[in-house]
């Protein structure tokens, strides 16, 4: 297959809201890289932050920058040092680029590498016809997984790692926040045998999606008292598990209050600034196990995602609410900031 010299890509070209669809050179793989022809991509919350140019993006992003990090595609070329992957392989990407030599990397936790870089944030991204990344970060996909679900594996990994920090089978779980990752968490909890699945979210569209995905109860935290509802549904015990996926301090405090003494709380949400909590009351004296979740486990989470998707144990169809070709990227990002969506897919020309 002949690889063209130029390609279409969604590029953050300047400060402020927005991006541009541009003709740019096809990247060349370095000695340890793969060059992938992209077949499907999906938009993450951090892409939206880059598009909106929030304070995090202003500090972190070097312009111009091809956006995006969630993808599925076919390898078309490998660097000269790559042995384990050949052209033709169906791949996605682990987006945490670890150094391999720091304390965390060498003790088996590369996802929290001290020198962590992120694909599409600190390097050239994947909202393009071709993408380059280290071959060690390429995930070989099971051919039974459709490209659009293969692209979702990266955020799915956030949900898997959060929900499955410990076993959930036969347990009650509260999921606070039903953004794309919270919705994926509902699907994971359901697939992995959770009993009561309570999901809390102000947006009615997202609450409805959660019911489709297997939530047994949904709560509007603005209209109802979450702690009271959870107590009522659990006979006064509270839930065994909290998965905090909103990044909202009140959802975190109320969610912790809903955990039964001796239960577990896994927190993925990222908060604007510091959060005040009554730790004695919420964590210490109730012996709650608290987990912080960063990305996914490298790479055990990916094997779980593959297993669940290849064997159709996860129902992801309701999560994918919109599909757009690259040229309609503006509409896709506006919709994403609006919030009346699940996961949004973006397809390069011809796919
Ligand atoms: P999102 O912003 O799309 O979703 C958050 C949802 O929480 C929204 O639907 C919002 O309406 C809802 N919400 C707001 N206030 C709430 C409340 N009081 N109670 C319940 N729900 C409330 O975000 P996302 O992309 O789904 O990601 C979820 C969170 O996880 C975000 O905070 C994100 O920054 C974070 N995140 C962390 C990691 C990590 O590695 N730790 C990775 C991905 C995302
Ligand atoms: Zn490292």
Nearest CA to ligand 1 atom 23: 179
Query: Which residue lies with its CA nearest to atom 10 of ligand 1?
Result: 177
- Residues 255-302 have pLDDT tens digits of 999 999 999 999 999 999 999 999 999 999 999 999 999 999 999 999
Query: Could you tell me how many helices (H) and strands (E) the chain has, helices first?
Result: 11, 18
Q: How far is it, in rounded angstroms, from Cα 52 to Cα 65?
A: 14
Q: Under a CB-based contact definition with an 8 Å cutoff, are residues 328 and 183 in contact?
A: no
Strand residue runs (E) in the chain: 6-12, 20-25, 33-42, 65-66, 70-78, 90-93, 96-97, 117-118, 130-134, 138-140, 173-176, 197-200, 217-219, 239-244, 259-267, 289-292, 320-325, 343-347
Tell me the mean pLDDT in the region 224-228.
98
Angstrom distance (rounded) from CA 44 to CA 72: 14
CB atoms within 10 A of CB 351: 17
What integer is the mean pLDDT of 174-202? 98
The closest-lying atom of ligand 1 relative to the alpha carbon of residue 292 is 41
State which ligand 1 atom lies nearest to the alpha carbon of 45.
25
**Phi, psi values for residue 179, rounded to 5°:** -70, -175
Predicted local confidence at residue 1, as pLDDT: 72
Distance 35 CA to ligand 2 centre (A): 24
Give the position, in ligand 1's atom list, of the atom nearest the Cα of 293. 41
CB 136, CB 32: distance < 8 Å: yes
pLDDT at site 87? 98
Element (H, E) at 82: none
Query: Which residues are paired to 303 by β-bridges?
Result: none
Please give the structure tokens belonging to residue 56.
């995090």
Taken in order of first residue, the domains within the chain and their CATH numbers are: 6-152+319-347 (3.90.180.10), 158-292 (3.40.50.720)
User: SS3 sequence, 230-257?
Assistant: HHHHCCCCCEEEEEECCCCHHHHHHHHH
Measured from the CA of 295, which atom of ligand 1 is nearest? 40
Each residue's pLDDT tens digit, 8-25: 999 999 999 999 999 999
Residues 6 or more apart whose Cβ sits within 8 Å of residue 193:
168, 169, 170
Q: What is the CA radius of gyration of the chain?
A: 20
User: Tens digit of pLDDT for each residue in 25-67?
Assistant: 999 999 999 999 999 999 999 999 999 999 999 999 999 999 9
Q: Is 245 in the pocket of ligand 1 (CB under 6 A)?
A: yes
What pLDDT score does 25 carry?
A: 98
Q: Whose CA is nearest to atom 22 of ligand 1?
A: 177
Asked whether 342 lines ligand 1 (CB < 6 A), one says no
Mean pLDDT across the chain, nearest whole number?
Answer: 97
132 Cα: distance to centroid of ligand 1 (angstroms): 29
DSSP state of 191: H
């Amino acid at each position: 297959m002949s690889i063209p010299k130029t390609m279409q890509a969604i590029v953050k070209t300047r400060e402020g809201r927005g991006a541009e669809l541009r003709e740019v050179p096809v990247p060349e793989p370095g000695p340890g890289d793969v060059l992938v022809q992209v077949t499907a991509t999906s938009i993450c919350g951090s892409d939206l932050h880059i598009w909106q140019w929030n304070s995090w993006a202003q500090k972190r992003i070097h312009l111009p920058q091809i956006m995006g990090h969630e993808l599925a595609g076919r390898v078309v070329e490998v660097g000269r040092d790559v042995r384990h992957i050949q052209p033709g392989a169906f791949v996605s990407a682990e987006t945490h680029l670890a150094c391999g030599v720091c304390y965390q990397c060498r003790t088996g936790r590369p996802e929290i590498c001290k020198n962590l870089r992120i694909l599409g944030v600190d390097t050239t991204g994947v909202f393009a016809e071709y993408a380059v990344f280290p071959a060690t970060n390429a995930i070989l996909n099971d051919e039974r997984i459709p490209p659009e679900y293969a692209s979702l594996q990266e955020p799915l990994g956030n949900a898997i790692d959060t929900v499955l920090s410990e076993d959930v089978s036969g347990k009650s779980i509260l999921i606070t926040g039903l953004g794309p990752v919270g919705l994926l968490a509902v699907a994971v909890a359901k697939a992995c045998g959770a009993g009561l699945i309570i999901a809390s979210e102000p947006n009615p569209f997202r609450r409805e999606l959660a019911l489709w995905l297997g939530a047994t109860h949904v709560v509007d935290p603005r209209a109802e008292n979450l702690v009271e509802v959870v107590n009522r549904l659990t006979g006064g015990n509270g839930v065994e598990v909290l998965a905090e996926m909103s990044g909202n301090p009140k959802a975190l405090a109320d969610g912790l209050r809903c955990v039964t003494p001796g239960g577990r709380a896994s927190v993925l949400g990222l908060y604007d600034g510091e959060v005040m909590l009554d730790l004695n009351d919420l964590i210490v004296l109730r012996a709650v196990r608290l987990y912080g979740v960063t990305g996914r486990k490298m790479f055990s989470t990916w094997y779980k995602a593959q297993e669940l998707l290849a064997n159709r144990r996860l129902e992801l169809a309701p999560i994918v609410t919109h599909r757009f070709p690259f040229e309609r990227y503006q509409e896709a990002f506006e919709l994403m900031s609006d919030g009346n969506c699940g996961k949004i897919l973006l397809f390069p020309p011809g796919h």
